[in-house]
Structure 1
């Protein structure tokens, strides 16, 4: 059964106020930019968003900060967004910082149906406060809970109508674990191909994890930090 949806507006139409949204991407690489824009226009609010970072001030998830649609952000890095800092210091935004590897594993665990796991990362720091501690083989670990979301946005390079996805190079980043951790996963793709055109050995996310597929057009390919050298 085809999972292709005709418009980006339809793709985000089920997302409701107060939902938990997981978004793939790293910096501005592999972010579901069309879905984020559509979500901004939808006006849904009080969102809890789980992503490695919150975009930048004028692109990606940072756009949802401008409209104050995000109530809580769960992320590992927030250093590129002045508005994020301002809203947090003003008490307008709740923030849960998670070590990057731990965030990836919490999403992977959630997608695999694993409720919690132990890690040594964060032991002895503020991250460990209030969390269960256990000793294994003489080393202390803390318990971290798996993360699942009501919805997940991912950005893929290619997809077929069944929702099988291939990511391109570093755009793979958090997208595969985000796709598995969402109860309803919406994939934004650059190229939609026919059934049988994807090499089964190259598929990164099987279609069983994907509810809807939307083909985007005219991507801007923004650079987060442009670095040049003298000629």
Structure 2
């Protein structure tokens, strides 16, 4: 089965106003640059976006904030984006902050068909407000819901035509979890190989989770925050 698409134009028809998008990446590492740009170009609105963070002002998911395409952001970190801060403070953007480990587990649970689970993270904090609580072996836990998105946007390093994926180093981050948590999963990759060229032990995520593969080119791979060591005497 060949899941490779030559253009993003047709596949973007599956993304509609009001949907929930789950998006891979951590900071600007391993983000699906081309897919995010295509969502911006389509101009869909009222989106709920689930991702570790919301990019920066002019790159990554921050691009979707420019035209106020995001209605609600579900994430664990929001500190690098001034537009995010402004829209949140002006109540134009709804924000649900989720502890990072809980966010990862909510995505994993959604992809595994698990509707909810209990965790001790967030007990006695604002995270627990309005959530069911239970005691197990004398310890309090709150219930968290699994996350399933209408569409998952994923970045991988390499794929074959069936959608078996290989991620590169730290750019793996949230991407495999996001890929499993979408009703429709669209993956952009840097390299495409033929079926059978990937050794079974090399595959990080099987293609059964993937519906569409797009081969991207000219990745910017911007560094979110560059820290350098000044030379002595400079």
Shared fold by TM > 0.5?
Answer: yes
Cα distance in 2, alignment partners of residues 214 and 150 from structure 1: 18
Deviation of 1:11 (Å): 3.1
Structure 1 segments unaligned to the other structure (5+ residues): none
Match of 1:59 in 2: 59
C-alpha distance in 1, partners of 2:133/2:64? 36
State the match for 2:145 in structure 1.
Answer: 145
Counterparts of 1:167 and 1:196 in 2: how far apart (Å)?
A: 17
Shift of residue 13, structure 1, vs aligned partner: 2.3
**TM-score calculated relative to the size of structure 2:** 0.97
Q: Which residue of 1 aligns with 2:68?
A: 68
Match of 2:215 in 1: 215
Partner of 1:127: 127
Q: Tell me whether 1:87 sits opposite 2:76 in the alignment.
A: no
Gap runs ≥5 in structure 2 = none
Deviation at 1:10, TM superposition (A): 2.5
Where does residue 159 of structure 1 map in the other structure?
159
Instruction: Select between 9-18 and 56-65 the one with higher mean Cα deviation.
Output: 9-18
1:32 corresponding residue in structure 2: 32
CA distance in 1: counterparts of 2:201 and 2:164, whole angstroms: 11
The number of residues matched between the two structures is 231
Partners of 1:4 and 1:13 lie apart in 2 by: 16
Instruction: Give the CA deviation at 1:9.
Output: 2.2
Alignment of 1:86-105 (within 5 A): 86-105=86-105
* Separation of aligned partners in 1, 2:117 and 2:188: 31
User: Using the alignment, how far apart are the partners of 1:177 and 1:64 within structure 2?
Assistant: 22
Residue aligning to 2:111: 111
Q: Deviations over 1:22-45 (max 9, x none)?
A: 000000000001000011000111
Say if 1:34 and 1:188, in contact at 8 Å, map to a contact too.
yes
> After the TM superposition, which parts of structure 1 deviate over 4 Å for at least 4 consecutive aligned residues?
none
CA distance in 1, matches of 2:112, 2:73: 22
CA RMSD of aligned residues (A): 0.7
State the Cα distance separating 1:202 from its structure 2 match. 1.6
Structure 1 SS opposite 2:5: coil
Secondary structure, counterpart of 1:40 in structure 2: helix
Q: TM-score, structure 1 length as denominator?
A: 0.99
Give the distance between the partners of 1:118 and 1:134, measured in 2 at CA: 8
